[in-house]
């Protein structure tokens, strides 16, 4: 397959602005990616096909592969997306690291005073189960705060 440009792919920004919804979608797409042999979860890459045929993706890369339907053989650089879509993908990356304040700022939202700037999120590579629990816990906090 010949790699296509993003202009040809025309990914639409179908992602929500609410951080809790971004986490929900991200974790759903991550589950799908984890069971797809064409992909390797690697939080150091957005969406990068490497030698050997696997495409390495982070949490936001899982969203690119699933929700945005970026083909497995397409390397992605965030500047290829609209700034609005790129900001949402970077916000997902901030959230997976626990940087709630930065995610809110990037999404143009005012962080509720009852929410901290930073939450402890276990690294996916250190402990996948703890990572998923921490992300769900953060999602629940965001929902409780109305976000």
pLDDT at 13: 78
From first to last of the 147 residues of the chain, give the pLDDT tens digit: 444 555 545 677 789 999 999 999 999 999 999 999 999 999 999 999 987 779 999 999 999 999 999 999 988 888 888 889 999 999 999 999 999 999 999 999 998 888 889 899 999 999 999 999 999 999 999 999 999
pLDDT at 137: 97
- In the chain, what are the domain boundaries? 15-142
Between 128-144 and 83-96, two packed helices, what is the crossing angle to 10 degrees? Answer: 120
pTM of the model: 0.89
**How far apart (Å, rounded) are the C-alpha atoms in residues 91 and 102?**
7
pLDDT at 2: 44
Joined tokens for residue 39: 């992909």
Give the angle 20-21-25 at the CA atoms, nearest 5°: 120
**How far apart (Å, rounded) are the C-alpha atoms in residues 6 and 17?**
22
Percent helix, strand, coil in the chain (nearest 5)? 45, 5, 45
Sheet holding 39-41, edge to edge: 39-41, 55-57, 47-49
pLDDT at 10: 60
**How far apart (Å, rounded) are the C-alpha atoms in residues 8 and 42?**
26
pLDDT at 86: 93
pLDDT at 87: 95
């Amino acid at each position: 397959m010949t790699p296509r440009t993003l202009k040809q792919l025309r990914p639409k920004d179908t992602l929500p602005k609410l951080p809790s919804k971004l986490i929900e979608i991200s974790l759903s797409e991550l589950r799908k990616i984890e069971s797809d042999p064409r992909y390797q979860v690697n939080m150091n890459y957005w969406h990068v096909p490497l030698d050997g045929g696997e495409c390495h993706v982070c949490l936001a890369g899982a969203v690119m592969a699933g929700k945005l339907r970026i083909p497995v053989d397409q390397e992605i650089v965030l500047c290829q997306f609209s700034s609005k879509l790129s900001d949402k993908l970077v916000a997902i990356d901030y959230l997976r690291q626990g940087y709630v304040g930065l995610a809110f700022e990037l999404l143009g939202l005012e962080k509720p005073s009852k929410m901290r700037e930073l939450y402890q999120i276990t690294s996916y590579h250190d402990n996948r189960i703890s990572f998923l629990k921490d992300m769900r816990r953060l999602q629940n906090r965001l929902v409780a705060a109305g976000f």
